[in-house]
Chains A and B, each alone.
Chain A
Amino acid sequence: MQLDSKVPDGPLSEKWDQHLFDLKLINPANKRKFEIVVVGTGLAGGAASATLAELGYNVKTFCIQDSPRRAHSIAAQGGINAAKNYSNDGDSIRRLFYDTIKGGDYRAREANVYRLAQISNNIIDQCVAQGVPFAREYGGLLANRSFGGAQVSRTFYARGQTGQQLLLGAYSALSRQIAAGKVKMFTRRDMLDLIIVNGKARGIVTRNLVNGNIESHAADAVVLATGGYGNVFYLSTNAMASNVTAAYSAYRKGAAFANPCYTQIHPTCVPVHGTYQSKLTLMSESLRNDGRVWVPKDSGDKRPPGQIPESERDYYLENKYPSFGNLVPRDVASRNAKLQCDMGKGAGETGLAVYLDFEDAIKRDGRDVIAKKYGNLFQMYEKITADNPYEAPMMIYPAMHYAMGGLWVDYNLMSTIPGLFVLGEANFSDHGANRLGASALMQGLADGYFIIPYTIGGYLAGTELEKIDVDDSAFKETADTVRSQIKKMLSISGRRTVDDFHRELGKIMWEYCGMSRTDEGLAKAKDLIVELKGEFRENALVPGSGAEFNQNLEKAKRVADFIEFGELMIIDALARKESCGGHFNADYQTEENEARRDDENYSHVSAWEYAGEGKEPVFHKESLAFENVELTQRSYK
């Protein structure tokens, strides 16, 4: 396998322009001769489907939910970045580029990130034109806020529902193309395998979730926009159906998987309250602008927060990081919360929580000001916990949130399988080892509206594509394999539910491959996962049949893939003998317990090639060259 990033030559700021010029074009009348499959209707897939159809391609689009409008992107709260510099505070494309590269701990490709920053401005324009109701100032111009510790105000938002509004924008554009007959929409479909013909991606196999039919779809190119794999941790802020199955099936067919160990744990989530818990709710990190994080100074202090006097509280972020305080980046905030709880200072019944206190902010600004800023979040918190944050501090704890790792793609967003493109959270491309707030929405829409429409044309124009048909043997064979896998799963007839396996997998991943890892712990986790995989094959209990609406069968396939994928994450984490961004290995830290990067040996993308069932994957390396930024150690002291 050859990893060729295909980054164009020339100065950073001219690469994309030059590349657009160099890409071969397809004449408008010929576009309608091409058939493109898009899997996913989140920001990335929704935007891609609509735009490809607008250009004239015939698109077939797939999603798991009953409507394309319900993709996981809908849940994003905080906002979307762009380098508009509307706030006149010194922002620029270069600054957004620099912040993203630095935030990613220097583990992303410069050229991709620069392009993202360039395109960010077009996204806002496009969304406004579609009718996205972004927040506005009294004068009628667009409002911005600062987000995720950025020093400029570049985040556009629609109340606490930015993801929803952006997705509804993409969904309405998609709906228009469905009505025009240019997109054929397949809802309640699960992509279970990828079809390869003569080395190129030529279609997919799906299961119809309503009646269980296994269906094949042929195409000239396949676009995966299937989101992130956060649910490998069982509990996460991701939607319940978020999965790795589609991406993993491509990996099994030869697409390299890049940096699977880079995951982001978000510091401000509602803590876990019982084993029955099915997901974790994010509390926007904007709360850290005014809330103060603390724990009792003494371990084992179980008094209610109100009875712990000021002098016996440890505002550990403010003390340890005087210049950033409560606004340190996500990975630093999360890791420190864990450290405090590990020392026995955690709050609440489980001891797995820290306080986020608004008392001082309310005293300073008044209750009304705080209510105006955070009222809806406080209400949401109260709905879940029955506690009132105006009166007692919130309790928060980190939770799995975002996957920086994903299928490896080149500058054209094409994977190592020709004709297979990967967009949005499903690819690895732009966030390095850590993602900054409000930049996932930006990336998904950049990929969908403004990159894939051009790069796919370059591929189609320059590639010889044989005529194929779903009756060809490649389709039949793959569909048969899928059928027999399903049959096998249903016939295990064990005694443990799929959810129970998923919970155990989550525990292993969280404990050993979560916020803080060690070589020893990772090695142990690898054994535990292999064991769990074996037990799943013998003891899973999947009720019902394959020929019906069977939600447990859907889950079983996802959990089986998550277990295998968990092993890959651990292999990747073990191979990266440094700490960077979301990958913190306690064996590689500075004297002050901060992440110690090793730029000399690990300034690269790790891309893994599937080697077959039960075999160790093959390691490939894409070296990262930094020509436009200077690598520095991140410091927030």
Chain B
Amino acid sequence: MSESKDKKAINLTLKVWRQIGPDVKGSLETYHAGDISTDMSFLEMLDVVNEGLIIEGKEPIAFDHDCREGICGMCGAMVNGRAHGPEKGTTLCQLHMRHFSDNDTIVIEPWKSRAFKIIKDLAVDRSALDLIIQAGGYISANAGGAPDGNAIPFPQESAEKAMDAAACIGCGACVASCPNASAMLFVGAKVSHFALLPQGRPEAVKRVLAMVKKMDECGFGNCTNETECEAECPKEISITNIARLNREYLKAGFL
């Protein structure tokens, strides 16, 4: 795949996963995407294809998206077998067509994982990730009783590390790219975010046990250090967060 900065238009062949509902068989269908400006984002390319399909009286391709600037975590698909496509640290909505060449064939498939059911075409149900957060991904602090924000100073370095972990957008790319469909990077990021902050310590033990338990219940697989998750994470969340999760979990077990 070559990259070009010059404005131009390219022609593409798309092979897109079409599936009308969760319990129906799906298949790859072929579409032509002609005259695609290389300045377009990947989702804008899909918009153009969809407008064509609608005019022809065909069913447009369903895909999730919202912010279109790489922060909400709503978009995502496997592009030529890679979560969010070929660019490092990039969500699908931020992937631009200049990273593709004229006459490329692009295979577009939904996240495929036991824990994520397909809703339609490229849209999947990721509510299992919410269930994991509900199990313990919070600090129990009701509105009203908080001390002054500067009451507990803590090192800038921990705040920065916590922020690195908290940058997760919950898109599910880690799960989709893991051969075991593990959610360890997602859980590791959330556990780390709180474990690194003094406010998070009081509930650290309960939190890590509850979140890991829920993760297992939801049907996510185990981590066998494949590191695909880190490679494909659009926010480049580090797998050191998984190591921290493991440490927190072990520590919790010994208490």
Contact = CB atoms under 8 A, between A and B. Distances in A.
A540 to B, nearest CB: 11
A178 B193 CA distance: 21
Contact of A549 (B51, B123, B127, B146): B123
24 contacts: A74-B71, A75-B69, A84-B149, A125-B146, A129-B199, A130-B199, A133-B159, A133-B162, A133-B197, A136-B159, A140-B156, A141-B150, A159-B163, A165-B163, A173-B138, A240-B65, A276-B48, A278-B43, A279-B69, A449-B143, A541-B54, A543-B58, A551-B62, A552-B60
Closest 4 CB pairs of A and B: A140-B153, A172-B138, A129-B146, A125-B146
A129 B141 contact: yes
A279 B68 contact: yes
Interface stretch (A65-73, A291-299, A405-413, A601-609): A65-73
A274 interface: yes
A241 B67 CA distance: 8
A249 interface: no
A497 B64 CA distance: 19
B39 A47 contact: no
Contacts of A130: 138-139, 141, 199
A384 B91 CA distance: 12
B16 interface: no
Contact of A74 (B67, B96, B193): B67
B37 A138 contact: no
Interface string B32-50: 0000010111011001100
Interface in A124-139: 124-131, 133-139
A70 B91 CA distance: 14
Contact of A124 (B57, B134, B149, B159): B149
Contacts, number: 212
A139 B152 CA distance: 11
Contacts of A66: 64, 74, 125-127
A544 interface: yes
A131 B194 CA distance: 7
B48 A69 contact: no
Nearest to A159: B163
A45 to B, nearest CB: 14
Given A66-B64, A128-B199, A499-B51, A175 B127 contact: no
Interface of B: 3, 5, 7, 20-21, 37, 39-41, 43-44, 47-48, 51, 54-55, 57-60, 62, 64-74, 90, 94, 96, 98, 119-120, 123, 125-127, 129-130, 133-135, 137-150, 152-156, 159-160, 162-163, 166-167, 169-170, 193-194, 197, 199-200
A135 B65 CA distance: 29
A239 B130 contact: no
A356 interface: no
A158 B149 CA distance: 14
A334 interface: no
A68 B43 CA distance: 22
Given A138-B156, A239-B68, A172 B133 contact: yes
A281 B170 contact: no
A276 B130 contact: no
Contacts of B197: 131, 133
Interface of A: 47, 50-51, 54, 65-70, 72, 74-75, 84, 86, 122, 124-131, 133-142, 158-159, 161, 164-165, 168, 171-173, 175-176, 178-179, 185, 187, 210, 239-241, 273-274, 276-279, 281-282, 349, 380, 383-387, 449-450, 453, 495, 497, 499-500, 541, 543-544, 548-549, 551-552
A273 B40 CA distance: 9
Nearest to B196: A133
Contacts of B153: 136, 139-141
A175 B156 contact: no
B143 A278 contact: no
Given A67-B129, A69-B170, 16 more contacts: A54-B142, A66-B127, A67-B127, A72-B67, A74-B71, A133-B159, A133-B166, A136-B153, A136-B156, A173-B141, A175-B138, A276-B48, A495-B55, A541-B55, A543-B57, A549-B62
